Amino acid sequence: MEDFEEEQQRRKKPRRGANGFDAAAAAERRKRIDAERRQLPAWAARDQLLSLLQQHRTLVLVGETGSGKTTQIPQFLVNARFGFGSGTGQTSVKPRAANGVDQDPGDAGPSTSGRGQANGAWGGGGGNCIAVTQPRRVAAMTVARRVAEEMGTPLGQKVGYAIRFEDATSPATRIKYMTDGLLLREALVDPALSRYRVVIIDEAHERTVSTDVLLGLLKGVQALRGDDFRLVVMSATLDAGRFVDFFPGAVAGLIRGRQYPVQVMYTARPEDNYLDAAVCATLQVHTEEPPGDVLVFLTGQDEIDSAERLIKDKLASLPRSQPATVGEGAEGAGEGADGADPSAPAPAPGGPDSLLVLPIYAALPPEQQMRVFEPAPPGVRKAILATNIAETSITIPGVRYVIDTGYVKSRDYNAKLGLESLAVVPVSQAQARQRSGRAGREGPGKALRLFTEADFGQLEQTTPPEITRCNLASVVLQLKLKAMGIDDVLGFEFMDPPPRAAILRSLELLFALGALDAAGKLTEQVGQRLSRLPVDPMYGRVLLAASDMGCALEAVAVVAMVATENVFHTPRAKEKEWRSARLKFVAREGDHLTLLNVFRGFSELPKESHKARTQWCSDNFVNIRALRKAEDIHTQLLRFLGPPSPPGLGLPLRSCGDDPTPLRRALAAGLFPHAARLQPDGSYRVLATGRQVFLHPSSVLLDRKPPALVFSELMHTTKTYARDATAVEPRWLPELAPTFFAAKAPGQA
Ligand code: CDP
Ligand code: MG
C-alpha cells in the first residue's frame, strides 16, 4: 500500500511546491503553469469582470468549460482585494505593471492579508474569504490543489477546501472551495454568511438540491449584507436569463472561449452493452487515430474498474507494433532499442505499451486523481475513464477524442412511493453536446457516441433540476431551522419549486420521526437536534434513539461506516479469498452490525502501527482509506453528539457492549420508514408504501432472511434493492413509531 506511505510522508513535512518535486523542478513547473494560466480566456476578461462586479451585486457568468472560471476568477478577486463595498475608497482594480502583466501578490511575496489590511479594503463590512461551491467533492479537492499550486502556497493555507467531514482550511484561507451542501450547512448556522465577502456558486447548471436551496437563501444573504457582499453564479452551459431574472439587479457576463469543431459520430445500431462498446471504441481510437488523449464517459466506479481491466487485457493481446520503449515513465525512451535514432520522433500510438489508462472518480485517492492532469510522456496516449465529473467540473488537458456511452448515474425520487433511487439513466441532449465538446478544446476533435442518431433525437433536451426529483427530508428539516426564519417551506422562494407532493411527503416523514410537531414546528427534543447533525434525518434519529438506549458509541460507529463508501475491496480475481475473509465479520443480525464488527476490528489495532493496520486491511480485503475516513467521521460525529457546547448536543455516549439488541432497536427507531416484511416469495414489502423490494445481493442476510428488517436505502437497477439491512422484531415497530404504524399500515402488523 505505497500510497499510504506516501501520505504519511506528506503529513510529516508540509509540502512545498508540486507533489514533492525538488525546489528547482517545482519552480520550473510553476513557471509553465503560470504561462498557461495567462493564456486562459478568463484572463482576457479579467478587468471587465472586476468592473462588472464593482457595479453589480450579482454576476451571472457563462464561459466555455476550461476557460478558467473556477481556477482563475477567485484569484482575480483576491488579488484585486475585491475592491467593492464599504471600506473601499480607492481604485478597485490594481493598476497593471509596466510590462502589462499583473503581479500577483502571491508571487511577489508579502501576504495579501497584510497588504490588504493596510489599504483598508479587506474585511471592510465583513468577511475576507471567497467561497466557491462545487456540486462534487472531487472537483472541490482537485481544484483547490491546483489553485494552491498556482498561488505557490501549501494547500489548506491561503487556498483550502472543505467537504463534509473534511476541512482543509485555516484562518489564513482566502479562497475556500467547498461542496454546495457544506455551504448550505454554514448558511444555517450563520444566515448572513458573514465570513464570506464573495460567494461563487459554480456549476450552477447542475442544479443540485443544495445549489437550488442556496440560491434561494442567498437572496436573503444579499438583503442582510447589502453592498458588502457579492454573488457570482457561473457555469459553462447556463440559461443566464433565468438567473438574472431570479436575482434583482443581476448582470450577465460572458467569457469568450475557443472551441474547435468536433466531428460527432454515432453507432449504426444500438449497442447491447455500452461498457463493451466503450472498451472497443477506446482501442479502436488508440490503434487507428492520430495522437491525442481519449476521454471515456462511464457511469461509476465499478464500471470504470471493469473497463480498465478489460482494456488492459485486450491491450496485452495486441501485437506489439513497435519496440516497447515507452512505458509508464519514459525511462527507456530514447535509449534506442534496435539502434533507432534517439532524436527520431516518438512512435505513433498503437502499441500496447503506449496507452496509459487512467481512471477518475470521486472515491479515488487524491494522488491518483491528480495523475489524470499530468501530460502523457511522448508517444503515449492517455485514456481517461471518467464519471460525469469530467463533463464540466474538471478539464483534462490533451483530450482530442471523446467516447460517450450516453449514460449517467442519477438520483431520482418518486414522491408517491417515497422511493429514492440512484439509477443509470440516459443523458440529456445538452449533456451529450457538452461531453462531445470536451474533444474540441485544444484542436479539432472527434466524439464517438455509442448510440444511434435516432436515439439522440429521443433524449430529453435538458435534465430537470434535482430538487424536483429527490427526497426533501433533509432540505425541509434545514429550512425549518429557526435560525433561517423560513417556517413556511411551501412558500420558500425556489427557482424551480419541488413538487408539492414531495414537500408534503417529507413533512410527513419528519413528523413521524418526531422532528416536527402537529403545527409543523421543529420540536426541541428531536427536530432542533436532527437539523444540526450532518447525516440523513433517519440516521440522525438513529443516533438520538441510541443515546437514549445506551448504545450511542455503537450507533456512531455504524453511521460512520454507512456514510463511508467502498469499505470492502472485492477484486473479481480473488473472490474466494475475500468472501472467506468477510466471514469473520458477518453478524447474524445483519449488515449494520457486520459493518460495526469491521470498524471494531480496525480500531482495536494499535493506532501508531501503520504497518499492522495496513496488513490487517489487506488480509481482510477492506479499504484502508475508507476505514480511516470512517474513523474521521466517527470522531466528528462524537463531537456533534458529545460535549454540551456547540456543536455538541451533550448526549450520553454509552456502549451496549456485546448485546446487539439495543442497537437493533435504535436502528429500528430511526429507519422504521424503511421497515419491510418478508413475503412468501422471498422478496420484501415496504410497510410504509407497500412496495416490493429485494434484498441487495451484498447483504449478509441473503441466506437467512428474517421476517422483518429495516434498511438504509433503495437502489433501483434491474430490480429495486434494499441496501444495508438489519433484522428487527416486528412488534418493535408499532412500539417505537406508534403514530406512523397506526396511520400507515392498518392490518399490516
Ligand atoms: O472552470 P472552467 O471550466 O472555466 O476552467 P478551470 O477549471 O478553471 O480550468 C482552467 C485550466 O486549468 C484548464 O486548462 C485545466 O486543464 C487546468 N487545470 C489543470 O490543469 N489541473 C487542475 N487540477 C485544474 C485545472
Ligand atoms: Mg469550472
Task: For this complex, say whether ipTM is above 0.95.
Answer: yes
* Ligand 1 proximity of 85 Cβ (cutoff 6 Å): no
Q: Are strands 355-360 and 381-386 parallel, antiparallel or unpaired?
A: parallel
For each of the domains in the chain, give its residue range(s) and CATH number, in order of start: 27-82+126-254 (3.40.50.300), 262-317+352-467 (3.40.50.300), 533-743 (no CATH)
Q: With 0-12 CB in 10 A as exposed, 13-18 as middle and 19+ as buried, what is 476?
A: buried
Please, which residues have CB within 8 angstroms of residue 646's CB and are 6 or more apart in sequence? none
- Sequence letter at residue 593: L
Q: What is the pLDDT of residues 77-133, one digit of tens each?
A: 999 887 666 544 333 333 333 333 333 333 333 333 333 333 334 444 568 899 999
Query: Which residue CA neighbors atom 2 of ligand 1 most closely?
Result: 66
Q: In what order do the strands lie in the sheet with 159-163?
A: 166-168, 159-163, 175-179, 129-134, 196-201, 230-235, 58-63, 251-255
What is the 143 CA–ligand 2 centroid distance (Å)?
A: 9
| Contacts within 8 Å (CB) and 24+ apart, 298-301 | 298/385, 298/386, 298/387, 298/405, 298/407, 299/387, 299/388, 299/405, 299/407, 299/408, 299/409, 299/424, 300/361, 300/387, 300/409, 300/424, 301/359, 301/361, 301/362, 301/363, 301/364, 301/387, 301/566
What is the 187 CA–ligand 2 centroid distance (Å)?
A: 23
**Closest ligand to Cα 141:** 1
Q: What is the pLDDT of residues 328-350, one digit of tens each?
A: 333 333 333 333 444 444 445 55
In angstroms, the CA 686 to CA 690 distance is: 5
Alpha-carbon dihedral angle through residues 71, 366, 565, 658, given to the nearest 10 degrees: -130
What is the 68 CA–ligand 2 centroid distance (Å)?
A: 7
| Contacts within 8 Å (CB) and 24+ apart, 8-16 | 8/610, 14/154, 15/154, 15/155, 16/154
* Ligand 1 proximity of 354 Cβ (cutoff 6 Å): no
**Closest ligand to Cα 143:** 1
Q: With 0-12 CB in 10 A as exposed, 13-18 as middle and 19+ as buried, what is 366?
A: middle
Query: Which residue CA neighbors atom 22 of ligand 1 most closely?
Result: 146
Rg (CA), the chain: 27
pTM passes above 0.90: no
- Sequence letter at residue 628: R
In angstroms, the CA 70 to CA 82 distance is: 16
What is the 66 CA–ligand 1 centroid distance (Å)?
A: 5
* Ligand 1 proximity of 146 Cβ (cutoff 6 Å): yes
- Sequence letter at residue 731: R
* Ligand 1 proximity of 237 Cβ (cutoff 6 Å): no
What is the 368 CA–ligand 1 centroid distance (Å)?
A: 17
What is the 242 CA–ligand 1 centroid distance (Å)?
A: 26
What secondary structure letter does DSSP report for 556?
H
* Ligand 1 proximity of 58 Cβ (cutoff 6 Å): no
Q: Which of 703, 664, 710 is nearest to 687 (CA)?
A: 710
Please, which residues have CB within 8 angstroms of residue 628's CB and are 6 or more apart in sequence? none
What pLDDT does 87 receive? 42
In angstroms, the CA 370 to CA 387 distance is: 15
Please, which residues have CB within 8 angstroms of residue 647's CB and are 6 or more apart in sequence? 532, 639, 640
Which stretches of the chain drop beneath a pLDDT of 70? 1-21, 83-126, 320-353, 412-422, 482-487, 743-749
Identify the helix (H) or strand (E) that includes residue 448: strand 445-449
| DSSP output for 580-607 | HHHHTT--TTBHHHHHHHHHHHHHTS-T
Ion ligand 2 neighbours (CB, 5 A) are 69-70
In angstroms, the CA 123 to CA 115 distance is: 12
What pLDDT does 704 receive? 94
Place of cell 534517439: 342
What pLDDT does 510 receive? 93
In angstroms, the CA 440 to CA 437 distance is: 5
Query: Which residue CA neighbors atom 20 of ligand 1 most closely?
Result: 373
| DSSP output for 21-65 | --HHHHHHHHHHHHHHHHHSHHHHTHHHHHHHHHH-SEEEEEE-T
* Ligand 1 proximity of 69 Cβ (cutoff 6 Å): yes
Neighbour tally for 488: CB within 10 Å: 9
Neighbour tally for 736: CB within 10 Å: 18
